[in-house]
Chain A
């Protein structure tokens, strides 16, 4: 494992995209930064600009309008950058599966590295997902 991967896995800056979620997943993401879970311990930070991102967190079902923007955002992120799907909507479109404006699930649009299921997922689930992601990234290199 080289220094670059090591530094990357110890300081993950997260950019958070809502592609039409019901806002519950987003609130649970913010919960991870509260005193109870405090994932800044592991160097994880929420940042405002996608240019600084190491991970893009996507919540919600992809409707037709947000798909275009999602692709744009992914292209704007500096690589190496991972995509994390949070919540059942982002995983499988959930109850919007037969909706007229939700065409494809997320992994047909972007290369997803990590799926965190749940409606909404618990902060514990997200932390365990992050641990799995870190292990995966370290093994890959």
Chain B
């Protein structure tokens, strides 16, 4: 009962959905203010979702059953991650050995769900989007995992979120060391790509492939995808906070950290044009990968 509550309501689904949608609104509002506009009211993202629920759902002719199932796959895995992270922050003793690995795998799933759904929809533009998403996945996943490996090395081989948190409690946040700082910068880049916002919204390019992977979705499945996006916007910054800035996790500290990371994402989004897919691949396999390897080496040296 308590488990169900923690996954469905408080740190889990409901709470993180609300926070995620609010951060999505924050993104739109801040972008609008940066462009000297007024921006939408605070309930805009909720209204969008409710509206999508009331619309017709169209399934293209010949679509496989994965077309309707894959949105739930993505949503379910992000909800699990949100629940696990939330309970870990509230009660660090509840974490089990290896939950960091589980979280890494689950964070992989929304991209897989997008690829599955797009390729099930039998739309040529969607398949272009799916192939771009796949390439992007290959590009950012390696530096992301390497920078997390640097953190694992720094916390003496602990692959448990609770272990990493307690390590940071006694020795200070991971970001305070050279290797931690480099890995953090790296993880920020990769997070931008994982969230699929500019300059890395290559798979959803509105201008050239018309929403790409999402092109055939309407009504309820589209709403589920939007919700997944919102949840990712809450979960990934939280993961970074837990891994890199985990010294003080009381609400007084965690909220400014979260908003800080959010503002950083939005500023990068608003000041950079979209990259081509080959540029993105080159970028990730040059700078962040080199930085990530550097971070791992520094962590091995104990810096």
B51 in contact with A38 (CB, 8 Å): no
B215 in contact with A49 (CB, 8 Å): yes
Interface string of A16-46 (1 = CB under 8 A from B): 0000000000000000000100101111000
Assuming the A-B contacts A11-B44, A11-B47, are A52 and B54 also in contact, with contact meaning beta carbons closer than 8 angstroms in the complex?
no
- Give the CA-CA distance A76 to B59 in the complex, in Å: 10
Count A/B pairs, Cβ under 8 Å: 79
B222 contact from A8, A35, A43, A52, Cβ within 8 A: A52
User: In the complex, how many angstroms separate the beta carbon of A81 from the nearest chain B beta carbon?
Assistant: 8
Count class of interface residues, chain B: 20 to 34
Interface set, chain B 189-219, CB cutoff 8 A to A: 206-207, 209-211, 214-219
B40 in contact with A41 (CB, 8 Å): yes
B57 in contact with A38 (CB, 8 Å): no
Residues of A within 8 A of B172 (CB): none
B211 in contact with A48 (CB, 8 Å): yes
Residues of B within 8 A of A8 (CB): 51, 54
Residues of B within 8 A of A10 (CB): 44, 47, 51
Interface string of B150-185 (1 = CB under 8 A from A): 000000000000000000000000000000000000
Interface string of B250-263 (1 = CB under 8 A from A): 00000000000000
A51 in contact with B58 (CB, 8 Å): yes
B206 in contact with A43 (CB, 8 Å): no
Cβ of A95 within 8 Å of any chain B Cβ, yes or no, is no
- Give the CA-CA distance A3 to B49 in the complex, in Å: 12
Interface segment, one of B31-39, B95-103, B275-283: B31-39
Assuming the A-B contacts A52-B218, A78-B55, A78-B218, are A43 and B35 also in contact, with contact meaning beta carbons closer than 8 angstroms in the complex?
no
Of B41, B55, B214, the most chain A CB neighbours within 10 A belong to B55
A11 in contact with B206 (CB, 8 Å): no
- Give the CA-CA distance A10 to B46 in the complex, in Å: 11
- Give the CA-CA distance A2 to B281 in the complex, in Å: 48
Which label, helix, strand, loop or mixed, suits the secondary structure of the B interface? loop
Cβ of A79 within 8 Å of any chain B Cβ, yes or no, is yes
Closest to A53 in B: B218
Cβ of B90 within 8 Å of any chain A Cβ, yes or no, is no
B54 in contact with A4 (CB, 8 Å): yes
User: In the complex, how many angstroms separate the beta carbon of B177 from the nearest chain A beta carbon?
Assistant: 43
B210 in contact with A38 (CB, 8 Å): no
Residues of A within 8 A of B50 (CB): 3-4, 7
- Give the CA-CA distance A79 to B54 in the complex, in Å: 9
Residues of A within 8 A of B135 (CB): none
Mark B residues whose CB is within 8 Å of A.
Answer: 28, 32, 35-41, 44, 47-48, 50-51, 54-58, 206-207, 209-211, 214-219, 222
- Give the CA-CA distance A48 to B218 in the complex, in Å: 12
Assuming the A-B contacts A40-B28, A41-B40, A79-B56, are A54 and B35 also in contact, with contact meaning beta carbons closer than 8 angstroms in the complex?
no
User: In the complex, how many angstroms separate the beta carbon of B71 from the nearest chain A beta carbon?
Assistant: 14
A48 in contact with B210 (CB, 8 Å): yes
Interface contacts beyond A8-B54, A11-B51, A52-B217: sample of 4 additional A-B pairs, CB < 8 Å, sorted by A: A3-B54, A11-B47, A11-B48, A40-B32
Assuming the A-B contacts A52-B211, A78-B57, A80-B55, are A38 and B206 also in contact, with contact meaning beta carbons closer than 8 angstroms in the complex?
no
Cβ of A127 within 8 Å of any chain B Cβ, yes or no, is no
A43 contact from B48, B55, B58, Cβ within 8 A: B48
Cβ of A125 within 8 Å of any chain B Cβ, yes or no, is no
- Give the CA-CA distance A10 to B211 in the complex, in Å: 22
User: In the complex, how many angstroms separate the beta carbon of A96 from the nearest chain B beta carbon?
Assistant: 28
Cβ of A47 within 8 Å of any chain B Cβ, yes or no, is yes
B210 contact from A7, A49, A54, Cβ within 8 A: A49
- Give the CA-CA distance A80 to B57 in the complex, in Å: 11
B218 in contact with A51 (CB, 8 Å): yes
A47 in contact with B56 (CB, 8 Å): no
User: In the complex, how many angstroms separate the beta carbon of A112 from the nearest chain B beta carbon?
Assistant: 20
User: In the complex, how many angstroms separate the beta carbon of A41 from the nearest chain B beta carbon?
Assistant: 5
